[in-house]
Structure 1
Amino acid sequence: MSEYRTIDLEEEKNELGKIEISPEVIEVIAGLAASEVEGVHALRGNFATDVAERLGRKNHGKGVKVELLEEGVKLDISLQLQYGVSVPEVAAEVQTNIQQALQTMTSITVEAINVHVLGIQLELAHETEQQV
């Protein structure tokens, strides 16, 4: 299990209070931003997240690992792409989309977004039969 830590955002000068963002929130934002990119078939989690998802528990942070650093956050995104897309182009678009989403929604400094392509989703045989 990961330890529970939060990220402290810089406080406003008016001192209204402290804003803390949980790493799970960053995982969800990054996961949704990555899945919006055309060419991404699915995010790939570990065995435990796959089992939980099969039991009906939706995990929007699946396939996203957040590491909290002094300078900001580092993300590792594991995904499966659709067959026929340009891997470098889709990966770069995933990085850009995640960075923009996190900057817009949280103002957190992103140190690195590492994209790990773990597989390619081939067109299934029954899908091609239905199209004919």
Structure 2
Amino acid sequence: MVEKESLGSIKIANEVVAIIAGLAATEVDGVAGMSGNIAGGIAEMLGRKNLSKGVKVEVGEKECAVDLFVIVDYGTSISEVAWEIQNNVKQAIESMTGLKIVEINVHVQEVHFAEETEEEEELEEVEETRVK
């Protein structure tokens, strides 16, 4: 986004909008996390948290379209969680950047089960001891 003012121009990078969208989506109850891609997984393995994981944005001069790839908690209403994600992301982007939201597409990629958390933690502990 480029906005021309009397003192100069303001440019907002796509990555900034993606980070805002990702953080706003994860604030919603029922969202277990974002579903990332291979590059995001590699960044996390290297110790860098990818705040735009699971987010694809198309930013024009005054408008923006967002695709979110999410993991929802088992037992939640997917339609209600998706609607809340759309609402929260729209509010965050519009208030922080001034961009008009054209569309927000929510793609539910996985369902997270609470029992898996304990098993995943145990596996992570085993992997950490192997690495040491």
TM-score by length of 2: 0.83
Q: Map 1:117-132; keep pairs closer than 5 Å.
A: 117-124=108-115, 127=118
Question: In the TM superposition, what whole-angstrom CA distance separates every residue of 1:3-57 from its partner, at most 9, and x where no partner exists?
Answer: xxxx113x44xx1221110000000000000000000000111012112112211
Aligned to 1:56: 47
Q: Which moved more, 1:92-101 or 1:70-79?
A: 70-79
Aligned to 1:3: none
Identity %: 46
Q: Distance in 1 between matches of 2:79 and 2:15?
A: 27
How far does residue 73 in structure 1 lie from its aligned partner after superposition? 1.1
The question of whether the paired residues in 2 share the 8 Å contact of 1:71 and 1:111 is answered with: no
Aligned to 1:4: none
Please state if 1:103 is matched with 2:97.
no
Aligned to 2:81: 90
From the two aligned structures, give the one with the greater helix fraction.
2
From the two aligned structures, give the one with the greater strand fraction.
2
Aligned to 1:130: none
Please state if 1:8 is matched with 2:18.
no
Runs of at least 5 residues in structure 2 that lack an aligned partner in the other structure: 119-132
Q: Distance in 2 between matches of 1:86 and 1:124?
A: 19
Q: Distance in 1 between matches of 2:81 and 2:34?
A: 13
Distance 1:123 1:108, change over 3 A: same
For residue 32 of structure 1, the aligned residue among 2, 7, 23 is 23
2:16 is paired with a residue of what secondary structure?
helix
How far does residue 126 in structure 1 lie from its aligned partner after superposition? 7.1
Aligned to 2:129: none
Runs of 4+ in structure 1 displaced over 3 angstroms? none
How far does residue 69 in structure 1 lie from its aligned partner after superposition? 4.0
